Structure 1
């Protein structure tokens, strides 16, 4: 009989390299680190202009923000130049990678036809951010909040799709559509649990003496007191009851919200329900959640933003600064002092400004101390003050440069030019235009 020889696995034979191009590029004859990983569709964000100019020697080029070179490169490489192409490509890549990157009407165009769902009244967008639309920072916050609410519901609905037409799947889809807790009851289980499904409920004598106000907003099935098995009325065992546990106000807005939720549930659940199953929507449920005040708020960082205000001159012709949709609704004219609108997703976390225009002149002086050891003794001579203290620097070639006090303040025009060429000032719209249907031929 032949004995088989066995040997332990070598470190060179361990499949530490992922599949793909990495094994073809790595040297398999040497140990490989287990930290290597492969990925597709990785995001490469844009770098600052200072980082892009790191190969320019500072001994030759003036890399200060006030230099002509840096302002020219900011105009060419920043958002005002080719940087806007990188921004738009990055934005399109983020939207294609996950649902968290999808924004605005891209959510409606993809998830709307797929799940047959639309935004609620509180999630409607007043403007189309993909067009050349501008808004104030406060208006963008409201738009982002409404868009985030719709995005969260669509993300929850996408997770519910994987559960299919099961009871947990229908419940998860209903909660994603309404945003509240929902219960799903199968008619066959309720019929089996009832001792007598055809038993009578309330009688006329038991309800006599009650005013009509107590019955307002209730259906006839609730007033009859019969167990609710569905709307078919035939005790069918192929019906599912979806109860929304939400307290709707008895006002026009509350009735509109009830109708909107019912219509949205019918549209979505019709796509998910099994064939031959009747789905019943019940919005008479009561919420078991109680409103509580916020006890505390904690943040690990601070976000602040400078809102620029402008006062345009009253000149004939087109307005030099745009007027946002919210400002138009508020009746703010194009020549009134107002917050300057900006494109979407152009928020910057900091800002800089100069008070150079507030400095009328600069003077310099120097203190020439007296050569004494103790100035507290009486009779000592105080320090003498030199009126002029211009700084003279002698260079290696023997030449010298004198820096006078009048040059101590930065030129206001230079400060404004440096700010205009800094990061985050010259920004471009992240969208090239609205998504439009392109006709194709087979």
Structure 2
């Protein structure tokens, strides 16, 4: 494959940082050099074209190139039930989630939705996602197969439930362990795919099932773990009744050996101090899902508490309770959740949570989340001028090289139209069609 130079303004976070806004690398007229799926070099375009005179140039002038976005919490079987009206968490599961997930017993249907799901990720600039599948092993196979075809870095897992859900969605402690182990052996570490042990949440997993999954976590220490934690107060009271001996909700997972690095807990809205301390100590991660939390009325995540306790926080769309696949929009909702609590989320910190911060939390920063030499060439081209309003709003920022203002405006105004192109593993995976805009001059 010929070496390519991607010409655009370029922004990324080259290292782990507690102050991302002060620790960016930005080239107003940048050149990103890629070869054989890897990033080879990055600097000003003039320097890069002189250093690689035989390279092919892909010209995205007027666009802002950032690392591929990372969605840390999303449900692939819920793609078709996005924007369903009127319920809170537990009723949402009963009335919408469980009936839809029943369809994924059919491998053909699962494959069809997997293709739709991954295309939605790409058209919204998401190149990596941490994905909940259904309880059906075949559905997880379909997800990984579709991701493999697209060369995407996907972390996914079969959802495990052996109680408090319809009988036709239940597995057992032993079945969950056996099928999860089979999926690990088949997919984990193959190409760009990783496995994630996935109990839906404590109420739908018996103590025996959690213990079986904990055994796998010990047997395979580099696999990921994902589940839900303290999303609603009603859920927390239910967990207390089911696990009366546990010190708190997180302790249910901890006793099973499921609290460690590479474990990601969705929501975490109503944590007690001991839970904050344990998350920090363990190196685990919180997936902040603001759009879903607002939609279901679950509550407001306290980002300032996570900062105080130095807990990793990433962002997740949580489709289908989340109302958009677009992570920039999700970041915009995170800003609003913080505003309601007298806190501020600056746009570069928000972008860090979607890129390098997420990669660091997942221990994948040597592969994704930044544009460092040697990492996988996953990146996105943002279009500040995707429509007439955004062109009007950002014409001054574009002229003065103010990438923070561009990111913030797109988090409020943007959608998939703000994604000019998505590249995965050094290949163009999605290209936005040009639209006729009203002239502003």
**Which category of TM-score, normalised to the shorter sequence, fits these structures?**
under 0.3
Structure label with greater radius of gyration: 1
- Which of the two has greater strand per residue? 2
Give TM-score scaled by structure 2 length: 0.21
In the superposition, the TM-score normalised over structure 1's length comes to: 0.21
Q: Which has the higher helix share?
A: 2
